[in-house]
Structure 1
Amino acid sequence: MRRGRALLAAAAAPVAVAAWHIVPAATWLPPVRAALFPALDGRGSPRHVALTFDDGPDVRSTPHFLRELDHLGVRATFFLQGAAVRRHPALVRTMAAAGHELAVHCWEHQPPWLPRPVAERRDLERAVLALRETAGTEPRWYRPPFGVLTATRWRAARRLGLRPVLWTAWGRDWRARADTDSVLSDLCKRLTGGATVLLHDSDRNSAPGSWNVTLAALPYLVARCRAAGWGIGPLAEHGAGG
């Protein structure tokens, strides 16, 4: 009998660990975030919209975004991949010099489903160090790959002093069939004052060439925000909590 209970306990342990790891990923669902974790949903000042980009820096596409943002008079928060930061340090320094906020996305995209507490912490440490040494900035924000905030990712970010934030409105601009109209339509489903917008300045993890669609949609997004009386800029100016 005791042996049977011991075997059951041993079998249940991996299930319990997996559940602990994956349950926080329910915050990927917008209704869950909005109701229980408004800061994680990217909610800030109702007079402001936070503009954020994932997956850079990318020497093929990011410079186009920097020029367009400069033309529009807008600064943004870029969630960067640490490995790409190491490959393109001059571009990262250009981004910082232009006044954009640099944040941590990951070292490189990794599947989120298996618990990797040591690896997650190591990868985030490497990404933070890459930004610190390259741009001379101390990153404040963290957005996990795929927007899946597992327990191990959350814990690793908190230990490094990073504030996890996902998004309020996204353009689903990574899709092969996305176009300017679809990006703007998807954004507007949850675009309000106080929202955090998710777009991508690279097709590193998206459909090839998809960044062109995002770039084309950008001036329309900025114009819409300004017409509504909302300022648009980085998370540092958004008034979002941690």
Structure 2
Amino acid sequence: MCALAGVAGHIGPAGTWLPPVRRALFPALDGRGHPRHIALTFDDGPDGRSTPYFLDALDRLAVRATFFVLGRALLDAPGTGRELVARGHEVAVHGWDHRHPLWPTTPPRDLREIRRTVAAVSAVCGVRPRWYRPPYGVLTGGRWAAAHRMGLRPVLWSAWGREWVPGATARGVADRVGRGLRGGGTVLLHDTDRTSGGDSWRVALRALPDLVECCRQQGFTVGPLREHGITVEGARPGGQEQTGPLC
């Protein structure tokens, strides 16, 4: 019985992967922040081959973002990691690598890997990360506890581009994000095809200008999670949340 309870406690929180669950019960985990702000985030990098293109594009758009990095990738491309910070972007923790979402993860392994990634970010980038997003968005009890122990706040996303889907186009990615996003939401894209292949990062890169322009036309600012106003308690700040699709 105790063993079953332990398994349930470890796997049960992974149900927050379901958007309706986290939207209703965990608004901060859904990435819901200030109603006039859109948080822009990227996963799976840094990648010395592709991430610099995103940095240049974001400079042209005058936008800063949050990059959820993999520890192994950061050690493979430390110069790119340092460049993220030098250009004013925020670095957050995505884990050591991109393991299968549930197995064979265990709470001790979760703690070791998150701690190792925090140490890599601190050593390479010279900053202490604040946010954690697990691979695949699967937040087990072990990952949740490990993040808390390392002083990280878990944040998933409110809308994503799914640019890795075969046949995805830049216009389709921007439209998908726009349909799923509301004021105060968090966008997930990828600055690398490390875990997907097929040069999918190029689709996300081409979608960026339209996505940012769409947000600005609606009167929203676009920036990193540090400017998003997510409160400790998980409630969004005061103001009226937009109720319709963004684009």
Q: Could you say whether these structures have the same fold, taking a TM-score greater than 0.5 normalized by the shorter chain as the test?
A: yes
1:179 aligns with 2:169: yes
Moved more, 14-23 or 66-75: 14-23
Q: 1:134-175: CA deviations, max 9, x gaps? A: 111000000000000010000000000000000001111122
In structure 1, the residue matched to 2:38 is 49
1:120 aligns with 2:110: yes
Q: CA deviation at 1:13?
A: 4.3
In structure 1, the residue matched to 2:226 is 236
Residue of structure 2 aligned with 1:222, choices 212, 218, 227: 212
Q: Which residues of structure 2 form unaligned runs of 5+?
A: 233-247
Q: CA deviation at 1:189?
A: 2.2
Q: CA deviation at 1:207?
A: 3.1
Quote the Cα distance in structure 2 between the aligned partners of 1:238 and 1:127: 23
Q: 1:103-138: CA deviations, max 9, x gaps? A: 000100112323411111000011000000111100
In structure 2, the residue matched to 1:75 is 64
Aligned length: 231
Identity of aligned residues (%): 56
Cα contact 2:39–2:186 (8 A) shared by 1: yes
Quote the Cα distance in structure 2 between the aligned partners of 1:131 and 1:79: 10
1:39 aligns with 2:39: no
Report the aligned-residue RMSD: 1.1
Indicate the structure (1 or 2) with the bigger Cα radius of gyration: 1
1:205 aligns with 2:191: no
In structure 1, the residue matched to 2:8 is 19
Q: Which residues of structure 1 form unaligned runs of 5+?
A: 1-11
Q: CA deviation at 1:20?
A: 1.6
Quote the Cα distance in structure 2 between the aligned partners of 1:87 and 1:76: 21
Moved more, 72-81 or 204-213: 204-213
Moved more, 67-76 or 179-188: 179-188
Cα contact 1:25–1:149 (8 A) shared by 2: yes
Q: 1:28-58: CA deviations, max 9, x gaps? A: 1111111100000000011100000000000
Residue of structure 1 aligned with 2:142, choices 141, 152, 158: 152
The structure with more helix, counted as a fraction of residues: 1
Residue of structure 1 aligned with 2:126, choices 132, 136, 139: 136
TM value normalised by structure 1: 0.93
In structure 2, the residue matched to 1:7 is none
In structure 1, the residue matched to 2:83 is 94
Structure 1 stretches of 4+ with a deviation exceeding 4 A read none
Cα contact 2:178–2:211 (8 A) shared by 1: no
Secondary structure in structure 2 of the residue aligned to 1:108:
coil
